Amino acid sequence: MTDRRPFVGGNWKMNTDRAGAEALARGVAEIARDASAEVAVFPPFPYLLPVGEALAGAGVILGAQDVYHQPDGAFTGEVSVAMLGDCGVRAVLAGHSERRHVIGEDDRTINKKVLATLAGGLISVLCVGETLEQREAGRTDEVNDRQTRLGLAGVSELDLARVVIAYEPVWAIGTGRTATPEDAQDAHVKIRGVISQLYGDRAAGSVRIIYGGSMKPDNAEALMAQPDIDGGLIGGASLKAADFGAIVRAGASAARA
């Protein structure tokens, strides 16, 4: 790791209920109080306000799992960047594998979300990553290259400072299978290379690229000790404050090493 501040985010997906979300948020607030990593949580939409209240003053970034790119209007069921900002949200996911592969979002849709999020002054966490089939066909780098370029299309160098890239191999998400630290590092280097081609070395050296895919307390430190892995996006293990806390601490200690 370099002087890039680690970013560790908990993606709660469609889990928790209101009381559980509040309790989990209180646990995360405790963890974050003395964390040197930047800590974020992405609860379900209905719990953003109570979670935000439970996190008050703890320095945790409140995040949203999705957004619609239009500012307002007749878009039943959708939520705008301004609405999220109004609820205290500071970061938004785009391109998560479940949105790509379960809901069917394409790179164009994802790019619109990235642009709208950044235009609204929030942090955009752009997720990229190959499926198992693509990996086995030797297409990992090509897929990450394409998703990174298309996801960032039209993003200025200035706005890139509010982008976090999450490399999340689809085959590792929620499966208990994790990329080896070396394979993940290799993918991160290649993604950083794409950023360098698009924005130059200085910008590429500053952008945080985090890993996601079955990161747990027992593998987090080895992954985040890799020089180009700047934190993690955590699904399952973020639902237990103790496990999430252990991962946040691993990120901080990897950064110091």
On whether the CB atoms of residues 63 and 9 are closer than 8 A, the answer is yes
Looking up tokens 């946040």 gives 248
Return the residue nearest ligand PEP (CB atom): 235
Active site residue 168: yes
Q: Is position 94 an interface residue for ligand PEP (rule: CB under 6 A)? A: no
In the stretch 156-175, what mask flags binding to ligand PEP with x, by CB under 6 A? Answer: ------------x----xx-
Bridge partners of residue 231, in order along the sequence:
7
| Residue 245, both tokens | 């806390």
φ, ψ of residue 215 to 5 degrees: the values are -75, 135
Q: How far is the CB of 200 from ligand PEP (least distance, A)?
A: 29
Residue window 206-225: x/- pattern of binding to ligand PEP, with contact defined by CB under 6 A: ------xxxx----------
Q: Which of 96, 98, 105, 188 is catalytic?
A: 96
Q: What are phi and psi of 43, to 5 degrees?
A: -80, 170
Residue 217 CA to chain centroid, in angstroms? 18
Who's near 228: CB < 8 A, 6+ residues apart?
185, 188, 189, 192, 209
Which residue in 69, 168, 188, 221 is the catalytic one? 168
Positive or negative torsion for Cα 131, 136, 137, 141: positive
Q: Which stretch binds ligand PEP (CB under 6 A): 140-148, 196-204, 218-226, 231-239?
A: 231-239
Which of 236, 243, 248, 249 touches ligand PEP (CB under 6 A)?
A: 236
Min separation Cβ 234 and ligand PEP, Å: 5
Binding residues for ligand PEP (CB under 6 A): 11, 168, 173-174, 212-215, 233-237
Active site residues: 96, 168
